[in-house]
Amino acid sequence: GTPDFRDSGLQFPDSFVFGSATAAYQIEGAVNEDGRGPSIWDTFSHTPGAVQDGDTGDVADDHYHRLEADLDLIAGLGLDAYRFSIAWPRIQPTGRGPVNAAGLDFYERLVDGLIERGVTPVVTLYHWDLPQALEDEGGWTNRDTAYAFADYARLVGAALGNRVPVWTTLNEPWCSAFLGHGSGEHAPGRQDNAAALTAAHHLNLAHGLGVSALREVLPETAQLSVTHNLHVIRGDADSVRRIEAVGNRIFTGPMLHGAYPADLIEDTKAITDWAFVLPGDVELIHQPLDVLGINYYNTTLVGPAMGGAHPAESAAGAAPRASAFPGTDDIPRLDQPGPFTEMDWNIEPSGLLQLLEATRDEFPGLALMVTENGAAFEDVVTVDDRGAAAVHDASRVDYLRRHFTAAHRAIQNGVDLRGYFVWSLMDNFEWAYGFSKRFGIVRVDYETQERTLKDSALWYRKLIETRRLP
């Protein structure tokens, strides 16, 4: 029957990878140490008004200085794998040139520390911290950035390839392109639809060139992937098609089918003529992958397009406003039934099952991995008579149980789902929301940097130990 997405007692395969994930800028801090150069997120977070409460990643979780303790934390949870990202500006402070040995050393210690503890390292090369020097030359709107990324990928691959079995080129290029250059809510904070579409293409190109560079230096057994936040859009069919085009297929089309969708090019022709796509580009982008990473949080509900009468576009002669989904301002986003997380994202585990099955149907034979799923909630901290702290996050436990149930159902339905990474290992710098939103299964006290396992971490530890949903 239909799962109620609350099941317990479900058994996962022994080979299933239970992991957790973080990203460099969200946890590391130490932004001026060991030769690290500035990234676009340093610039952006220090721009007044860009991030809630003026928060920055200058210190964040101070992970850079607490590596050994955090490795023990990871091992203590029994994680099979740990997904983290490498800060490009630690490896190449200006985005080009030779390796900064002191910066690489941190990731060598991280990788070696994981392996010593029996935890598989899963590396993401780009989780949004572009070296500022490259931004000064146009960033992702400059085609050269894609080639610079490939050089960076080759350097890191050559250094860590003998120890890291799974490699991801980009995390959520949709966010980089469209939150970074469309809505402007992420670094570099631009609001220009044409720039956003240009950036999307250059991110695609960076992925393809990066995969080729990695194949040159990695052992044949290495697994190569990319991670997308694939949007689950429900409602009016034509609105769904249009938003999926600029939200998902703009990336999966060239990367996995070897072509940009014709409807996307048609839908966006008032914004760009796509002249930035040079002959041969889609062949460079279309590289065989071993696994596809999927980040899933919520769903979106849309109504029929409003026929040009949308208020955002109705002012005489006004250009369509810059947007996270360029060219879709005439599509109304509808309210959805709750419940919601602290991000105001709806909790809808059926969306994960739908997404996994649809992705399997569209790309048969491609192994899938949930590289992020999790939720921000306000946690309840208690301290007992003897001073021991506990963090009660029943909502997060319930969220995770429901989404693991959906994942289990996907496997039963024949989806080749290899693993699942909870976002996030610990509370961290939640981008435009700063430290106001807590996604961790481990609580971080930002005064003392003390880490406390939340109830969800204890729950997850039990799941990993038994492979059975508690």
| Residues with catalytic function | 172, 372
Nearest to 188 by CA among 198, 197, 175: 175
191: CB partners within 8 A, 6+ apart: 181, 182, 183, 184, 321, 322
**Mask 359-378, x = binds ligand PNW (CB under 6 A)?**
-------------x------
**Range 223-282, binding ligand PNW (CB under 6 A):** 229
Q: Is 141 in the site for ligand PNW (CB under 6 A)?
A: no
Binding ligand PNW by CB under 6 A: which of 42, 70, 80, 172? Answer: 172
Task: Pull the structure tokens for residue 184.
Answer: 């402007």
Shortest distance, CB of residue 23 to ligand PNW, whole angstroms?
A: 5
Strands 451-453 and 417-423 turn out to be unpaired
Q: Which stretch in 112-120, 170-178, 283-291, 387-395 sits in contact with ligand PNW by CB under 6 A?
A: 170-178
CB 180 within 8 A of CB 170: no
Any idea what DSSP says for residue 246? I
Shortest distance, CB of residue 399 to ligand PNW, whole angstroms?
A: 13
Shortest distance, CB of residue 406 to ligand PNW, whole angstroms?
A: 18
End-to-end CA distance of the chain: 21
406: CB partners within 8 A, 6+ apart: 3, 5, 349, 350, 352, 353, 356
Q: Is 295 in the site for ligand PNW (CB under 6 A)?
A: yes
CB 74 within 8 A of CB 114: yes
Q: Which residue lies nearer to ligand PNW by CB, 63 or 286?
A: 63
> In angstroms, rounded to a whole number, what is the distance separating the alpha carbons of residues 141 and 240?
27
Q: Which stretch in 76-84, 91-99, 168-176, 391-399 sits in contact with ligand PNW by CB under 6 A?
A: 168-176
Q: Which residue lies nearer to ligand PNW by CB, 12 or 41?
A: 41
Shortest distance, CB of residue 323 to ligand PNW, whole angstroms?
A: 12
CB 393 within 8 A of CB 379: yes
Shortest distance, CB of residue 372 to ligand PNW, whole angstroms?
A: 6
Q: What are 291's strand-pairing partners?
A: 225, 367
Binding ligand PNW by CB under 6 A: which of 41, 84, 399, 423? Answer: 423
151: CB partners within 8 A, 6+ apart: 96, 213
Binding ligand PNW by CB under 6 A: which of 17, 23, 255, 292? Answer: 23
Binding ligand PNW by CB under 6 A: which of 430, 453, 463, 464? Answer: 430
CB 468 within 8 A of CB 82: no
**Mask 312-341, x = binds ligand PNW (CB under 6 A)?**
------------------------------
How many residues make contact with ligand PNW (CB under 6 A)? 11
Catalog residues that contact ligand PNW under the rule CB under 6 A: 23, 26, 171-172, 175, 229, 295, 372, 423, 430, 439
